Amino acid sequence: MSFDGVFIRNLIKELKEQIINTRINKVNFYNKYDFSFTLSNKQELLYSLSNNPHLLLTKQTLIKSDNQSNFSKVLKRLFEKAIITDIYQIENDRIIVLEISSFDDLGYEEKYKLIFEAFGRNYNVIIASKENKILEILLPTSIDSKRVLLKNTFYNQAESDQINPFTTNILTKTNNYQGISKILFQEIQFQNDLNIINNNPNPVIIDGDKAYFYCFDLKHVKGKRIFYPTLSELLEAYFQNFKSQTIINNDLKLLSNHLDKELAKLRRKKGKQERELDEANNNLEYEQIGNILKANLHQVKKGMSKLTTNNFYTNEEITIKLDPLLSPSKNLEQIFKKYKKAKRSIDYIQKQIEETKADILYYEDLKSQLDYFDYNSINEIILELSLRKITKQDQKNLKKPKYTTYILDENKFIYLGKNNLQNNYVTHKLANKDDYFFHVKDYPGSHVILRGNNLSKEDFKIAANFASYFSKAKNSSNVAVIYTQVKNVSKIAGLKGSFVKYKNEKTIFVTPNEDLINSYEKRN
């Protein structure tokens, strides 16, 4: 990974200037694997392990959680209100040691270490005494592990025969250097120069077939360069933006596959129900067959397998199959049972078919919402479908989904939903009754709410453009969009999703214009 020994070496130089001799005012937890220190200089030192282990000074506003693990309790108890006295790297390894000094209740100074092993999948964080005795560990090993990391044992760096590149000038053909990542070794080979590890930092993200980051430019990697003032800003941009795109793509694939499977299953179900309906309709003929048998029951003897007689409905000959083991009256009873069952089934199956059609419409609507996705909208759809465990924070967030606001003018706004949760929220909770509701006609699409004073015809046309653009009709021209005041819009009872009915609507025709959409200030 790009967060290698050389990157860490430069990062520590950068961090030293900003965090040494600062006090840790608060220890914050975001999940089991991510935590931060709020420092006295108002900086936030983030240890992120859940998304490719790394360390940085962050400007993000993160959602805190109530982490009650032993590790979190010990970290909070020992490090909160402590002073950071040093931060350093062990050799050129991906190990970062933060040293702190604090005072106990009796006023005696105590010193502790926070050892961060950023070994990719084998990451760990250890709280140790100044003598390296492990006081607590995030991910303890088992007693029979090759390298034992357990509470009350002593911390030792993992044994390695790799060469510290800062202690040699020998250029090897294979990468046996300590803390040199694969991508950096490729650059060393490309330039045929080991000394590039001493390059001055010039933080860069290289966006090509894949996004890479490093503490200085990598000449052998092709792609668009984006440079950053600091390594922390680089890391924040990469993991918040570029890496989140990977998460979005994975979530998009998960959603798309799930929706395809559900739609295929529902279409098979609908086909089966329609066949059952045809069969039930055909079985209605048993009413006439029963009446014919009843009129000729005197001709039937027990043991007969059929009766051929006149069909007085068509004046043609008819052969009625009989069960030779049943009496004539029981045969008649069985035929009328088949009729009654068919009659009952028709209403039931028709209702089932309508429910299945509604489910298909619901999933087709969800599928269409993937055409104008972003991270929040995809995550909300995943939670709506319960494809991921819903946390307390999720429950809180779902009460107010992250809809999008566009600013048309100082007092004119468009509120737009990109999924069912957002659509329902902007139309039925956020919107005022005198606001205007817009929706593309006869296509799945976003709910668009227009709010403002002294609205002009142009404002209505702009809002219609948003409704047409964020819909299945995005690539069409002269798209019909309906609009009416929100007081004329109501949710359709019994239907999943964000389907609505409306009255007193008017229609406006527009051609979706992406440049127009992008010309307005957007807030999420």
pLDDT tens digit sequence for 65-77: 776 789 999 999 9
pLDDT for position 28: 92
Do residues 427 and 510 both lie within one domain? yes
Do residues 518 and 406 both lie within one domain? yes
Say if 405 falls within a structural domain: yes
pLDDT for position 74: 95
The two tokens of residue 76 are 């909070």
Q: How far apart are CA 189 and CA 3, in angstroms?
A: 19
Nearest CA to 312 among 336, 296, 328? Answer: 296
pLDDT for position 227: 95
Do residues 132 and 203 both lie within one domain? no
- In one-letter notation, the amino acid at residue 435 is D
Do residues 123 and 210 both lie within one domain? no
The percentage of the chain sitting over the pLDDT mark of 90, rounded to a whole number, equals 73
Do residues 125 and 69 both lie within one domain? yes
Say if 388 falls within a structural domain: no
- Structural domain boundaries enclosing 509: 398-523
Does the structure show a pLDDT above 80 at 189? yes
User: In the predicted model, what is the mean pLDDT of residues 329-358?
Assistant: 93
193 close to 209: Cβ distance less than 8 angstroms: no
Phi, psi of 137 (to 5 degrees): -145, 140
Does the structure show a pLDDT above 60 at 109? yes
CA angle 60, 61, 65 (to 5 degrees): 125
pLDDT for position 107: 81
Q: Name the pLDDT band for 438 (thresholds 50, 70, 90).
A: very high
Say if 315 falls within a structural domain: no
The two tokens of residue 447 are 């709910």
- Report strand pairing: 479-485 vs 500-502: unpaired
Does the structure show a pLDDT above 60 at 244? no
Nearest CA to 266 among 398, 177, 136, 357? Answer: 357
pLDDT for position 250: 66
User: In the predicted model, what is the mean pLDDT of residues 350-364?
Assistant: 92
Does the structure show a pLDDT above 80 at 442? yes
pLDDT for position 4: 96
Q: Name the pLDDT band for 230 (thresholds 50, 70, 90).
A: very high
Does the structure show a pLDDT above 80 at 246? no
pLDDT for position 407: 93
Do residues 80 and 25 both lie within one domain? yes
Do residues 458 and 512 both lie within one domain? yes
Q: Name the pLDDT band for 434 (thresholds 50, 70, 90).
A: very high
Say if 326 falls within a structural domain: no
Does the structure show a pLDDT above 80 at 62? no
pLDDT of 287-304, one tens digit each? 999 999 999 999 999 999
User: In the predicted model, what is the mean pLDDT of residues 366-380?
Assistant: 77
pLDDT for position 306: 93
pLDDT for position 92: 96
Q: How far apart are CA 204 and CA 225, in angstroms?
A: 6
The domain total for the chain is 3
377: three-class secondary structure by DSSP: helix
Task: End-to-end CA distance of the chain: give it in Å, rounded.
Answer: 32
pLDDT for position 242: 59
Nearest CA to 240 among 205, 271, 192? Answer: 205
Do residues 422 and 505 both lie within one domain? yes
Domain CATH for 127: 2.30.310.10
pLDDT of 444-462, one tens digit each? 999 999 999 999 999 999 9
Which of 89, 122, 137 is the endpoint of a domain? Answer: 137
Residue 464 CB coordination number (10 Å) = 26
Do residues 10 and 94 both lie within one domain? yes
Do residues 191 and 68 both lie within one domain? no
Mean pLDDT of the chain: 91
Does the structure show a pLDDT above 70 at 284? yes
Say if 387 falls within a structural domain: no
Do residues 456 and 519 both lie within one domain? yes
pLDDT for position 382: 83
Q: How is 290-342 classified by DSSP, letter by letter?
A: HHHHHHTGGG--TT-SEEEEEETTTTEEEEEE--TTS-HHHHHHHHHHHHHHH
- List alpha helices for 387-496, DSSP H: 392-398, 420-425, 457-469
Do residues 9 and 128 both lie within one domain? yes
Does the structure show a pLDDT above 90 at 332? yes
Helix (H) or strand (E) holding 73, with range, is helix 70-79
User: In the predicted model, what is the mean pLDDT of residues 211-223?
Assistant: 94
Say if 159 falls within a structural domain: no
Nearest CA to 48 among 235, 237, 247, 250? Answer: 235
Say if 158 falls within a structural domain: no
Give the range among 151-160, 365-374, 399-408 with minimum mean pLDDT.
Answer: 365-374
Q: How far apart are CA 141 and CA 164, in angstroms?
A: 27
pLDDT of 144-171, one tens digit each? 778 889 999 999 998 889 999 999 999 9
pLDDT of 258-277, one tens digit each? 999 999 999 999 999 999 99
